[in-house]
Structure 1
Amino acid sequence: MTQQDPFAGLDDGRPPWDALGAFVPAPQPHIAGAETGPLAGLRFASKDIFDVEGFVTGCGNPDWARSHGPAASHAPTVRALLDAGATLAGKTITDEMAFSLNGQNFHYGMPTNVNAPGRITGGSSCGSASAVAGGLVDTALGSDTGGSVRIPASYCGLFGLRPSHGRISLEGVNPLAPSFDTVGWFARDAELFRRVGSVLLEDGEGQSGRWQRLLLAEDALALATPAVQAALAPHIERLEQRIGAATRVQAATAGLGLEDWMWHFRHLQAREIVVALGDWVAEARPRFGPEIQERFDWVHSITDEQVAEAKPLRETFADHMGTLLGEDALIVLPTAPGIAPRSDEDAEALRTHRSAVLSLTSIGGLSRLPEITLPLARVDGCPVGLSLMAPFGSDADLLMFAEEFCRVPEERGDL
């Protein structure tokens, strides 16, 4: 049964156990899960772009929240976790309209990254990552359009997945760029991560022994800092011991570099954002934070010619990645080029960092392939993820492999 959180009367609306600033400062849902099920006894949180019956889906912006009524029903992903026995603890902060990779909401604040103090969580699924990393919940729903699950997972030391595009329902999830939007989730350990995936994917246990070839994306690895490359190296070696010596490949194709492909991703994403949100922005004239306002101004500058060029090239890229992987290969690459930036980093430095991040994360977006990030390494005491990308639709097999690969705790290098 849906009920308001009993602590919703507090000044900022957050529950008293949220010392991390991860939850939305508004009346919170607390919904008990089924008495039995594969996730019984666990607590989860939901990014505030997922519908929860009886509560406004706020999308990180007060003007959006004021101009929309309560959701009529749960998003299917929320309902699936409840039916599996997990209890919804509340709705977590997102960057405005899920349109950022930083996790610094102008209106509601910046959730704490407990595993990298003084540094950002990454976004836009910032509150979900913060809540899981800090132990407030066991798992949390997020979304990934341009890296919004993978990057917070890397920065906060969590497991995170961008699934095959369309593999998990987006019904009841506010859109940003629909041909890139996906539903993902976070967990602190691989076994629970796979169990949640079994519920959301509805695809059985998966087969970990499917993978016969390992590919190393050299151009993607080159985007990482030398310290990150060194920290990931022993884990790549372990993958080679498990699967076989890695074949070095280039993720980029058609005579373009990964930065070029990133711009094609951004042009397509921008046009879809205009279609999905442009009418509301024009009518409501919402107050955005400076970073997000700059983004919404920019999306209108993309021309029809840029979009027309990018559309067929996306298919070229997707075909290239699909051919590399075949049916039995995994591609290994860094999740992010570096550790989480400091929370007081200036806007220009964050903008530069974002371009490097998107040059990596747009690989998954353009190709529509599943990508899991594993919290295997540390640099300067901060987490950094290693990603595995798999053939389209092989999500369950990827999750099972990740669980088995990470089952025995390894000493994590700290450079």
Structure 2
Amino acid sequence: MNGPSLPVPPGLVEAFRTYEQALMSDDVEVLDRLFAPASTTLRGDADGLLVGHDQIAAFRSGRGGAPARRLVQTHVQVTDPDHALVVAVTELARGGRGQQTQLWARTDDDFCGGWKVTAAHVSVPAPALDTRIWRVVGDPLVPGAPAGPLVGESVAVKDLFAVAGQKVGAGNPTWEAAAPVERSDATVVDTLVEAGAALRGIARTDEFAYSLAGTNAHFGAPPNPRAPRRVPGGSSSGSASAVSLGHATIGLGTDTGGSIRVPAAYQGLTGIRTTHGALPMNGVLALSPTFDTVGWLTRSVALLREVGDVLLPPDPVPGGTDLVVVPELLALAEPDVRSAVETWVADQGLIVREGWPLGELTTWLRAFQTWQAWEAWAVRGGWLADRLDTLGADVRTRFRHAASVEKAEADAAYDVVCSARTRLRDLIGDRVLVLPSSSSVAPLLGQGLQAVRDATMRLTCVAGLAGAPAVSLPLATRGGLPCGVSLVAAPGRDRALLDLAVSLG
């Protein structure tokens, strides 16, 4: 170690070496003792900032150890006998150099002379390709046309859409290995390229798009930069994270049960699920054709509309812009999300509040999920029947359930879906329904996600059952975490809904 003229305090070097040894051996107990046991202790890295010893300890216990490395340089700046800044340059065994900066303070603890880390920042070389986000990436992968309304924009394409010369991987390595190379683009992909947008790459998805979390068992969860160490939202997770991180300006995805609206809410983005059938699904891998729709995410509502101007047909039906809030739907969200939506509603002024007969919502959701499962097995069961073990645990559970749905059960569910569709369209009328985009903020990685999925789908199934367009606008809770408010209009009113979103956003 070397540093300025002030002498290095006794015990600091030994404490630092103990820290390094514990880090390389993943001795969580020693590492926890070397970090100050305070709510103000800090640890930051490229994924975000952890505040408080408890958060840091929880992260470390679930990490599985740090990458192997050796110290190249270590510098100490002593501010006084009880405080010092240690900056170390590291060289990773896998290649590349990193850096760590630690603020140490001497306490009354006998362990390691009382020296504790009160703040730390760690940096490692960025990967050439973050495989949590991207399956294939280029600079660009496919250039856009030289002229058009989307020149200068870039697209992260969900790995369900055909891109000429590439495979459709669907988030599953076994499927990808057997998939053919596509000979042409999906229709919507081709339209975006012809409008001048460049394809940045093919972004990760949850397996076969059968999830709302974004925690792919094979490739990991794409990062959520607006809510570090929380799930990104799925199944358009890679597209959403690419946009949120600035890797692309447009995230192309699909929305069956909320796969655009949920990642938009979790990551503070704008997103649209289009009217069912408004855009062609040619070249898009299906999950549940009754509910599958094309959608996209952006960081601004203005660009969201610009993409709509390129992709969407003219609205076939007129409609008003009166907003209606249903308290029973608001009540389905967690208090912090509900409060954020209520605040947004209050800011809009004249919004009608009315009770809707939603006593059948639980029945409607069950029918939605049953028919979705039936269709999912109808389109994927032939391939998956003897390959269920290739799926991650959560998606495997859903497909196993899908395989068990009897035809009579599915037919009964479809009848309920049709009835619910008619009823919801009547209730929406020519107005715009306002409701939370998700039931909660993004859960922490590693938490149980099924209950969150079920709670959120009670909200997202409304647009899915109605076959209606929905735009998610970003909000934030009082705690600063992203959430979203959804605007749902009658089917066919996509352009008008985007115009309204711009005026409100």
Residue equivalent to 2:204: 93
Residue equivalent to 1:374: 473
8 A contact 1:20–1:112 mirrored in 2: no
Over the matched positions of the two proteins, sequence identity in percent amounts to: 37
- Unaligned runs of at least 5 residues, structure 2: 1-94, 96-125
Residue equivalent to 1:273: 376
Aligned-residue offset at 1:285: 5.3
1:49 to 157, 160, 166: 160
Aligned-residue offset at 1:20: 8.2
1:319 to 414, 419, 422: 422
Residue equivalent to 1:224: 333
8 A contact 1:28–1:91 mirrored in 2: no
Residue equivalent to 2:343: 234
| Residue identity opposite 1:218 in structure 2 | P
TM-score (norm 2): 0.72
Aligned-residue offset at 1:301: 1.9
2:362 to 239, 259, 268: 259
8 A contact 1:219–1:251 mirrored in 2: no
Residue equivalent to 1:74: 185
Query: CA deviation digits over 1:340-378, x for unaligned, max 9?
Result: 000121xxx311111101111111111101111100233
SS of the equivalent of 1:363 reads: helix
8 A contact 1:94–1:105 mirrored in 2: yes
Instruction: Quickly say closer, same or farther: Cα 1:20–1:250, change in 2 above 3 A.
Output: farther
Question: Matches of 2:180 and 2:397 in 1, distance apart?
Answer: 27
TM-score (norm 1): 0.87
SS of the equivalent of 2:404 reads: coil
Query: CA deviation digits over 1:56-103, x for unaligned, max 9?
Result: 110000111111110110001111110110110100000011111110
283-292 vs 375-384, which moves further = 283-292
Query: CA deviation digits over 1:108-133, x for unaligned, max 9?
Result: 11100000011000100000000001
The alignment status of 1:385 with 2:479, answered yes or no, reads: no
2:269 to 158, 171, 178: 158
Aligned-residue offset at 1:26: 8.0
| Higher radius of gyration, 1 or 2 | 2
Question: Matches of 1:335 and 1:400 in 2, distance apart?
Answer: 19
331-340 vs 304-313, which moves further = 304-313
97-106 vs 215-224, which moves further = 215-224
Instruction: Quickly say closer, same or farther: Cα 1:285–1:21, change in 2 above 3 A.
Output: closer
* Moved segments of 4+, more than 4 Å: 15-20, 25-29, 283-286
Question: Matches of 1:386 and 1:167 in 2, distance apart?
Answer: 22
- Unaligned runs of at least 5 residues, structure 1: 1-10, 407-415
Aligned-residue offset at 1:202: 3.7
Question: Matches of 1:149 and 1:251 in 2, distance apart?
Answer: 27
The alignment status of 1:352 with 2:415, answered yes or no, reads: no
8 A contact 1:217–1:251 mirrored in 2: no
Kindly report which structure 2 residues correspond to 1:78-227, keeping only aligned pairs within 5 A, or say none. Answer: 78-203=189-314, 210-227=319-336
Query: CA deviation digits over 1:210-229, x for unaligned, max 9?
Result: 53432112221111111111
Question: Matches of 1:91 and 1:104 in 2, distance apart?
Answer: 17
1:343 to 445, 450, 457: 445
8 A contact 2:286–2:379 mirrored in 1: yes
Aligned-residue offset at 1:25: 6.0
Aligned-residue offset at 1:308: 2.1
Question: Matches of 1:295 and 1:289 in 2, distance apart?
Answer: 10
Question: Matches of 1:126 and 1:397 in 2, distance apart?
Answer: 27
SS of the equivalent of 1:331 reads: strand
Larger relative contact order (CA 8 Å, sep ≥ 6): 1
Residue equivalent to 2:91: none
Residue equivalent to 1:331: 433
Question: Matches of 1:156 and 1:229 in 2, distance apart?
Answer: 17
SS of the equivalent of 1:373 reads: strand
2:464 to 365, 377, 384: 365
